[in-house]
Structure 1
């Protein structure tokens, strides 16, 4: 197990205020319920010495780098969610990046799309991933499917440290990920390994 831990990274995806604050246009309903599980996941990962990647969205306030279907949220007098330097782009209270951990900024659903994540992980000898955060059908699923396509040896999705708009959407997407070989477990199961 100790050898495998050297090759494992935890991805904490989009645990930012604009995704958890119910007043935000990007809020994921019920996402705040997973916060204790995500906090626990990060502590387990730190205790095991895992490499932790904080995957966050940060957009230009004018929306020039946001997906076409979301551009109407950006510009003067608009909400400008998860804009670079904004309060909404900060990690939610209870989570903080520590020295030695890595912040990866993305502008699309997948943490691999148009970022240096794969080369970073390859350079560190990472072959196994553990995934937590929001939202299951979008950023979680896209990242996981890209990791599958990139032939990561093992991908573990923590079901109670990930969330979607509804339990039905969450569980349907988890089933799809299981069908492509993703290991799904609860944080307490993973922590007990």
Structure 2
């Protein structure tokens, strides 16, 4: 079965404490709810020998590499968000990077902008990407649209991605479907190609 997934990679985007957990001013309201499904997606990817790419934000403590609209989070009286080496930049509980996984650091919405993601995927012979994480209208959408522009076949696991509201999420999923992106649920993705796993996908 691993041969069927030879040219596929799983991207797990921004599943970090400062972006998921409710204590943070930058948390995505729907983020905590999808953690179990993102965990399942990672488990299934490992069982299929699909490479896992942890796409994360890691910023300078002074916010010098962050978008202009977010720089107010980095003033002296604020708690800095997803600063490199800080607890808030860590993956949420239940998600763990393994030594053979790939960590990609970005400072903007798209995982392709000013990163080596495209060259990494090309070098690994990857032509299909599966996307999970947060949030749908920003980092998910821009990464997906860039991937489609670069001629990757793209799948977004719809219940392993999230936005602030279901309305925002669903509207952006529809836009991605309209450009040819596959949008299975985690249950459907578990059983693609008649794949059955002893892992619990329900």
Query: Common fold, TM-score beyond 0.5?
Result: yes
**Alpha-carbon distance in 2 for matches of 1:14, 1:81:** 12
Q: Partner of 2:85 in structure 1?
A: 85
2:62 is aligned with 1:62: yes
- In angstroms, what is the RMSD of aligned CA positions? 0.9
Q: Give distance in 2, aligned partners of 1:127 and 1:2.
A: 15
Alignment of 1:69-148 (within 5 A): 69-148=69-148
Distance 1:83 1:155 in 2: 30
Aligned-partner Cα distance in 1 for 2:75–2:4: 46
Alignment match, 1:173: 172
Aligned to 1:25: 25
Structure 2 unaligned segments of length 5 or more: list them: 193-202
Residue 82 of structure 1, CA deviation: 0.5
Q: What is aligned with 1:155?
A: 154
8 A Cα contact 2:2 2:49, kept in partner: no
| Aligned residues of 1:34 and 1:161 also touching (Cα < 8 A) | yes
Alignment of 1:7 onto 2:7: yes
Q: Distance in 1 between matches of 2:62 and 2:81?
A: 10
**CA offset at residue 2 of structure 1?**
4.2
Q: Which range is displaced more, 51-60 or 2-11?
A: 2-11
CA distance in 1, matches of 2:57, 2:4: 29
1:117-148, Cα deviation, whole Å (9 max, x unpaired)? 00000000000000000000000000000000
TM-score by structure 2 length? 0.93
Residues 61 and 75, structure 1, Cα contact 8 Å, conserved in 2: no
| Count of aligned residue pairs for this structure pair | 192
Deviation of the 1:76 alpha carbon: 2.4
Q: TM-score, normalised by structure 1?
A: 0.97
Per the TM alignment, residue 176 of structure 1 is displaced from its structure 2 partner at its CA by 0.3
Spell out structure 1 runs of 4+ moving beyond 2 A. 1-4
Shift of 1:25: 1.2
Question: How far 1:78 sits from its partner (Å)?
Answer: 1.4
Q: Cα offset for 1:30?
A: 2.4
What secondary structure, in the 3-state scheme, does the structure 2 residue paired with 1:69 have?
Answer: helix
5+ residue gaps in structure 1? Answer: none
The CA deviation at 1:40 is: 0.3
Q: Distance in 2 between matches of 1:61 and 1:76?
A: 10
Which residue matches 1:34? 34
